[in-house]
């Protein structure tokens, strides 16, 4: 079953990077390191000027690139994924590569135009003694960090004096953290984790598996705790730290003493703050928490799952079906009223992906009136609307339904028969005009075709309908939806200007109206043949089977809802702007979508402060964001971006036409041709934006606040 579970191996407590041979109790027999020093400086985001030592001489140039020293462990992998996903340039050194470069003075620094240059603005290590505590590489790195004021993250280590903590047997604690609620300290909320509400609960997705192990230690002098947990009163009570800053001997380290991977919620919540701390709040790249939900087939009915046939009447492979689906699922006036009220109460806007012609057909077949359409049109200003074609036909090849699975029909010469450009264009145009005639505001540039058809559909249709790009151009469509589970990357459609916008499918099925129907179909897909299921989960290597069928009365609420909410929230916390999609049937009858969305919104708002609201982008905005990211990543990979900080000035140069993502502290200003202006928009306690040089300028120039 593709459950969305993220598991840390059972052996993580012993094998994760940094734990090494340290006993689980954290006794003094573990590996010793010398005291790790840190830069004596102000809190994160206030430290945006060079150290006093550096300022006394020529202010150094600090390049906006992160050095990642990787031992293959999940902790470094998680931080690397955050850097990559948010667009922060980094250089990775593989400790397991015998031919890796030596980390020495020349590797770390040099001079440019007579000015000292620090090649890396921050350093990520698997643990504090990754090179060996007394090695030449460790000495060179410590000297570099001290000279230039460069922070270091210890991705996963244990509690001991070398990182500013007591051993765990001195009033601390070590063990499995699953289900534990940690607290963001006052220092954490004033500093790198100012975007969190205060409480952070470690995931416990499977009670049979230990998902995260940690060492909570009491701080020593020079250590400031950012995340802590209560300790047993038998050990004196109080709290012990899991994440904090250790400052001594002119250096600073962010110390993390629990195991994690890039998918776990506790890491995803902390990831932004780790990067901001590492870069002192000034870095290339930006991150948001996005959530959009597309509701497909609005105005149309959806076929209903048959619990006897274990298929959906009307589908080509539904053996025993006469082709006439009965009792279709369609929203009612009450469902529309509920949707509008839910939006207002939740502070969240749905995207209504509509089929006007299907609504007209329903109206014709039901006495010439349609109260649902009347209600939704009356409430049209409360939603966003996206064209889903007029009658929702398949717009790829002409389908041959005489075989199962269907095939693309061919002419006598063996050529594939395609839906014509005129039919494609008519479906798009007629649906747009229908909405305009109803006073619905709809953006001509956005489209979702029925079943994402027209785009390639494997295995039957390995290429796009060659008529699709022309039809999109005919109607001014620039963004057409695709299925993220099939095509996760944005791509152009043919040789036209339109690009895809991948959407995440949610496991709230289009063909169910009740929780019992949902659980029944879920069981069919995710249980073994021996348990009465289809066995799909047994034959698909990307899936696993349920250990037993879900109770149809409670399975949806108890198993599917929390699982789907967890999966959706993982996308939100992963800086992923791709929309999620469901169907109008999920707003009808038992209204199955709302429990999932309510859970996502509640979990999110319990985790994040008001300064990090959910961003609810329109489809075109998602398309633009993905396009900018692709161009940015390509420019960085090609080595065509130059970015550095000298004192309070940040300079970024990129190829012409490439928009630059930058994150900086509040108070940062962007240089104009004459004067300056406030930079970016506020989010999560920093300011960030996609930006370009001003007219007659060749670089983006920012001035940082001095305090």
Q: How far apart are CA 508 and CA 611, in angstroms?
A: 31
Whole-number Cα distances in Å, 301 to 49, 174, 330, 571, 588: 61, 55, 5, 29, 10
Q: In what order do the strands lie in the sheet with 681-683?
A: 283-284, 660-664, 686-691, 681-683
* Average of per-residue pLDDT across 577-605: 98
User: What is the distance between the alpha carbons of residues 145 and 196, in angstroms, rounded to a whole number?
Assistant: 29
Q: What is the pLDDT of residues 409-464, one digit of tens each?
A: 999 999 999 999 999 999 999 999 999 999 999 999 999 999 999 999 999 999 99
pLDDT tens for 224-262 read 999 999 998 565 679 999 999 999 999 999 999 999 999
User: What's the pLDDT score for residue 707?
Assistant: 65
Give the three-state DSSP class for 79. helix
Percent with pLDDT over 70 in the chain = 91
The pLDDT mean for the chain works out to 91
- Residue 43, pLDDT > 50, answer no
pLDDT tens sequence across 170-222: 999 999 999 999 999 999 999 999 999 999 999 999 989 999 999 999 999 99
The single residue listed with the structure tokens 């060659």 is 466
79, pLDDT greater than 60:
yes
Question: Which of 10-14, 52-56, 323-327, 606-610 shows the lowest per-residue confidence on average (mean pLDDT)?
Answer: 10-14
Any idea how long the chain is?
707
Contact 528, 538 (CB under 8 A): yes
Per-residue pLDDT tens digits for 545-582: 999 999 999 999 999 999 999 999 999 999 999 999 99
Q: At 324, is the pLDDT very low, low, confident or very high (cuts 50, 70, 90)? A: low
d(CA 319, CA 218): 65
* Pairwise CA distance, residues 514 & 598, whole Å: 17
pLDDT in the model for residue 611: 98
3-state secondary structure 621-638: HHHHHHHHHHHHHHHHHC
Burial 93-123 (b: 16+ CB within 10 A, else e): bebeeeeeeebeeebbbeeeeeebbbbbbbb
Run of H or E residues at 482: strand 479-483
Contact 687, 664 (CB under 8 A): yes
Residue 667 predicted with pLDDT over 90: yes
Tell me, what's the pLDDT at 25?
35
CA atoms within 13 A on the CB side of 498: 30
Q: List beta partners, residue 8.
A: none
pLDDT at 3 over 80: no
Predicted local confidence at residue 323, as pLDDT:
59
> Does residue 56 register a pLDDT over 60?
no
Name the 3-class secondary structure at 83: helix
Other CB atoms within a 10 A radius of the CB of residue 646 amount to 15
Q: Which residues contact 538 (CB under 8 A, 6 or more apart)?
A: 528, 529, 545
pLDDT of 281 above 80: yes
Distance, CA of 585 to CA of 593 (rounded, Å): 9
**pLDDT interval class at 17 (50, 70, 90):** very low
The token pair at 108 is 């770390």
Phi, psi of 525 (to 5 degrees): -80, -40
Structure tokens at 235: 């050990």
Other beta carbons within 10 angstroms of residue 287's beta carbon come to 24
The rounded percent of the chain whose pLDDT value lies above 90 is: 87
Average pLDDT over residues 95-123: 97
- The residues, ordered by sequence, that sit 6+ positions from 657 with a Cβ below 8 Å of its Cβ are 631
Average pLDDT over residues 663-685: 97
Distance CA 215, CA 168 (A): 7
For residue 165, what are the contacts with CB-CB under 8 A and spacing of at least 6? 159, 172, 217, 218, 219, 220, 223, 241, 244, 246, 255, 257
Query: What's residue 315's pLDDT?
Result: 86
Rounded mean pLDDT, 397-401:
95
- Look at residue 57 and tell me whether its pLDDT is greater than 80: no
pLDDT category, 20, cuts 50, 70, 90? very low
Tokens of 610: 């008001």
Is residue 326's pLDDT more than 90?
Answer: no
Instruction: Supply the pLDDT for residue 232.
Output: 82
Q: Output Rg (C-alpha) for the chain, integer angstroms.
A: 28
Report the DSSP pairing between strands 649-653 and 681-683: unpaired
pLDDT band at 106 (very low <50, low <70, confident <90, very high): very high
Backbone dihedral angles phi then psi of residue 269, each to the nearest 5 degrees: -70, -35
């Amino acid at each position: 079953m593709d459950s969305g579970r993220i598991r840390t191996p059972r052996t993580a407590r012993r094998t994760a990077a940094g734990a090494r041979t340290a006993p689980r109790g954290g006794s003094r027999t573990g590996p010793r390191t010398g005291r790790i020093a840190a830069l004596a400086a102000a809190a994160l985001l206030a430290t945006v000027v060079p150290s006093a030592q550096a300022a006394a001489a020529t202010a150094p140039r600090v390049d906006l690139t992160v050095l990642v020293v990787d031992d293959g462990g999940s902790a470094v992998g998680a931080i690397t994924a955050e850097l990559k996903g948010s667009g922060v340039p980094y250089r990775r050194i593989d400790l397991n590569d015998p031919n890796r470069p030596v980390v020495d003075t020349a590797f770390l620094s040099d001079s440019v135009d007579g000015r000292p240059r620090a090649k890396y603005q921050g350093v990520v290590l698997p643990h504090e003694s990754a090179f060996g505590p007394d090695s030449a590489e460790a000495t060179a790195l410590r000297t570099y960090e001290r000279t230039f004021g460069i922070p270091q993250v210890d991705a996963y280590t244990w509690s001991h004096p070398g990182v500013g903590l007591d051993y765990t047997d001195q009033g601390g604690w070590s063990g499995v953290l699953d289900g534990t609620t940690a607290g963001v300290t006052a220092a954490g909320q004033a500093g790198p984790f100012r975007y969190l509400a205060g409480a952070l609960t470690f995931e416990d997705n499977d009670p049979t598996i230990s998902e995260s192990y940690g060492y909570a230690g009491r701080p020593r002098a020079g250590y400031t705790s950012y995340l802590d947990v209560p300790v047993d009163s038998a050990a004196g009570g109080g709290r012990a730290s899991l994440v904090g800053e250790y400052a001594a001997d002119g250096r600073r380290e962010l110390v993390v003493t629990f195991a994690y991977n890039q998918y776990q919620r506790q890491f995803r919540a902390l990831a932004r703050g780790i990067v901001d701390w590492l870069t002192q709040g000034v870095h290339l790249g930006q991150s948001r928490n996005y959530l959009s939900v597309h509701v497909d087939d609005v105005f149309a009915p959806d076929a209903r799952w048959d619990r006897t046939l274990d298929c959906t009447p009307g589908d080509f492979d539904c053996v025993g079906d006469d082709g006439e689906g009965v009792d279709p699922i369609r929203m009612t006036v009450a469902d529309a009223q509920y949707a509008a009220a839910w939006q207002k109460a939740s502070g969240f806007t749905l995207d209504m992906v509509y089929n006007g012609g299907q609504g007209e057909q329903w109206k014709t077949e039901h006495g010439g009136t349609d109260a649902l359409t009347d209600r939704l049109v009356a409430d049209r200003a409360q939603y966003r609307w996206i064209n889903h074609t007029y009658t929702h036909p398949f717009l790829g090849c002409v389908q041959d339904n005489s075989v199962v699975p269907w095939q693309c029909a061919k002419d006598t010469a063996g050529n594939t028969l395609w839906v014509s450009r005129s039919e494609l264009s008519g479906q798009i145009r007629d649906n747009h005009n229908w909405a305009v005639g109803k006073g619905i505001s709809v953006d001509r540039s956005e489209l979702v075709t029925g079943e994402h058809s027209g785009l390639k559909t494997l295995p039957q249709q390995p290429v796009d309908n060659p008529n699709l790009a022309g039809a999109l151009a005919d109607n001014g469509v620039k963004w057409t939806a695709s299925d993220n589970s099939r095509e996760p990357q944005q791509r152009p459609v043919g040789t036209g200007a339109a690009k895809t916008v991948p959407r995440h499918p949610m496991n709230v099925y289009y063909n169910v109206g009740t929780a019992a129907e949902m659980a029944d179909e879920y069981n069919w897909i995710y249980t073994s043949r021996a348990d009465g299921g289809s066995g799909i989960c047994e034959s698909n290597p990307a899936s696993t089977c349920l250990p037993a069928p879900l109770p149809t009365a409670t399975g949806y609420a108890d198993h599917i809802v929390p699982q789907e909410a967890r999966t959706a929230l993982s996308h939100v916390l992963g800086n992923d702007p791709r929309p999620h999609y469901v169907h109008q049937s999920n707003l009808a009858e038992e209204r199955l979508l709302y429990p999932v969305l309510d859970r996502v919104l509640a979990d999110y708002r319990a985790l994040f402060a008001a300064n990090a609201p959910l961003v609810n982008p329109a489809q075109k905005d998602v398309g633009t964001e993905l396009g900018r990211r692709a161009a940015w990543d390509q420019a960085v990979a090609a080595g065509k971006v130059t970015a550095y900080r000298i004192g309070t000035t940040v300079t970024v140069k990129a190829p012409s036409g490439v928009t630059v993502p930058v994150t900086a502290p509040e108070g940062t200003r962007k240089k104009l041709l004459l004067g300056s202006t406030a930079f970016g928009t506020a989010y999560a306690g920093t300011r960030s934006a996609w930006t370009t040089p001003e007219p007659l300028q060749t670089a983006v120039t920012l001035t940082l606040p001095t305090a």
